[in-house]
Amino acid sequence: MKRTEISSLGEFAFIDKLTQDIQLKNKSSILGIGDDASVIQQEKNSQTVLTTDLFLEGIHFDLVYTPLKHLGYKCVVATIADIYAMNALPEQLTVSIGLSARFSLEDIEELYEGIKLASSIYGVDIIGGDTTASQTGLLISMSCLGRVRPEELCLRSGAKATDLICCTGDLGAAYMGLALLEREKNVFAGETERFEPDFARKEYILERQLKPELKLSVLEGLKEKGIKPTSMIDISDGLASELLHICKSSKVGVRIYEERLPIDYETAQMAEELGLNITTVALNGGDDYEFLFTIPLGLMDKAKEIDGLRFIGHITEESLGASLVTRDGTEISLKAQGWQ
């Protein structure tokens, strides 16, 4: 494959190559890449939300099994998930990268293919960034601006006792995808006799790890039905950890039910293959990028009509703490694992 050294281009030609075909779609994006700063027109009666994420090679991703295009795509999804979790819509994105001489122009073009694809699918404009050399590895940082009407904003802090706890999609799949990739990593590295990694009937968990998508249809369903969540958060560090965030911010307790945890068949199979407890996987697996939110109990019937929305438990008084009710009716207290 062709390899163009970035040093042969110089910084400006390099940035130009990566960004020349970027077009702005949102009305609020007034000026994008090319000047000292970008310009955004704030609308009346709307609030701006801002989030930043940092992704480091060796910590957040492993290029042995992550194609650069997928990596770019996933970083965008992970970043904008935080905006959606505020019940806002993402509009502008900045992308900063640090790269060592190991990476060629073609590599970073592949990364940007993924970044641009996700940006266009989710309707966010790339309006700037920064580029620098790094001594080792690849570093990606993204910031996203979003917009929300003040009355629509959802924080972690609004949950009330008796509210229903809901989530989108299913849990633990991305973590099982990662576990599978890690298991097969020695095959990639040529350390075993098998030279084809074994991914048969594991497509779903791999896709959840390598190309996550956000369940926007559920958020749109809520809007259509006039249901405003009392609290919301995206599930990036595992359900248990996010529930504890809601408990802390809202000063409430939670009770969720093991039998209600949404788990895909492939996830369950992989967990069994690896000798892992499936409930632990669903509670603590990372990278789900599903949404967790609470709604008033009285809106249950309306919410039931939304495809892909799951009820997993309810909010309790703070003094009751955070617990999981197992299939046999035992209550276990929830612990966060967070990032590792």
Chain mean position to CA 170: 13
CB of 103 to ligand ADP, least distance (A): 12
Query: What is the SS3 assignment for 18?
Result: helix
From Mg ion, ligand ADP, none, interface partner of 35 (C-beta below 5 to 8 A by class): ligand ADP
Rounded to a whole number of angstroms, the minimum distance from the CB of residue 26 to ligand ADP is: 16
Residue number, 133 or 332, with CB nearest to Mg ion = 133
Stretch that binds ligand ADP, among 34-42, 188-196, 263-271, 311-319 (CB under 6 A): 34-42
Q: Is 313 left (phi over 0), alpha (psi -120 to 50) or beta?
A: left
Return the residue of 35, 151, 259, 301 that touches ligand ADP, per CB under 6 A.
Answer: 35
Q: Which residue is nearest to ligand ADP (CB)?
A: 128
Is 36 an interacting residue with respect to ligand ADP (CB under 6 A)? yes
Q: Looking at 125-133, 148-156, 172-180, 314-322, which segment touches ligand ADP (CB under 6 A)?
A: 125-133
Q: Which residue has the tokens 């694809």?
A: 117
Task: Decide whether 128 or 221 has the Cβ nearer to Mg ion.
Answer: 128
Q: How far apart are CA 108 and CA 110, in angstroms?
A: 5
Minimum CB separation from Mg ion for residue 100, in Å? 18
Whole-angstrom Cα distance, residue 227 to residue 248?
23
Which position among 43, 130, 220, 331 is part of the footprint of Mg ion (CB under 5 A)? Answer: 130
* Shortest Å, Cβ 62 to ligand ADP: 22
Cα 286–Cα 289–Cα 293 angle in degrees, nearest 5 = 110
Least distance between Mg ion and beta carbon 83 (Å): 24
- Of 130 and 331, which CB lies nearer to Mg ion in the complex structure? 130
Q: Is 80 helix (H, G, I), strand (E, B) or coil?
A: helix
Q: Residue of minimal CB distance from Mg ion?
A: 130
Nearest to 204 by CA among 233, 231, 236, 172: 172
**Token pair 């629509």: residue:** 152
Q: Which does 95 bind (CB under 5 to 8 A by kind): ligand ADP, Mg ion, none?
A: ligand ADP
Q: Tell me whether strands 253-257 and 309-316 are parallel, antiparallel or unpaired.
A: antiparallel
* Whole-number Å distance between alpha carbons of 10 and 173: 41
Binding positions for ligand ADP, 163-192, rule CB under 6 A? none
In whole angstroms, the minimum distance from the beta carbon of 24 to ligand ADP comes to: 12
Find the binding residues for ligand ADP in span 93-112 (CB under 6 A): 95-97
CB 168 within 8 A of CB 218: yes
- The DSSP result for 169-227, as a single string, is S-SSHHHHHHHHHHHHHHHHTT-SS--S---TT-HHHHHHHHS----HHHHHHHHHTTP
Q: How far apart are CA 278 and CA 125, in angstroms?
A: 39
Q: What is the DSSP letter of 26?
A: S
CB of 92 to ligand ADP, least distance (A): 11
* CB closer to ligand ADP, 36 vs 259: 36
Residues contributing to the site for Mg ion (CB under 5 A): 130
Residues contributing to the site for ligand ADP (CB under 6 A): 15, 19, 33-36, 95-97, 126, 128-131
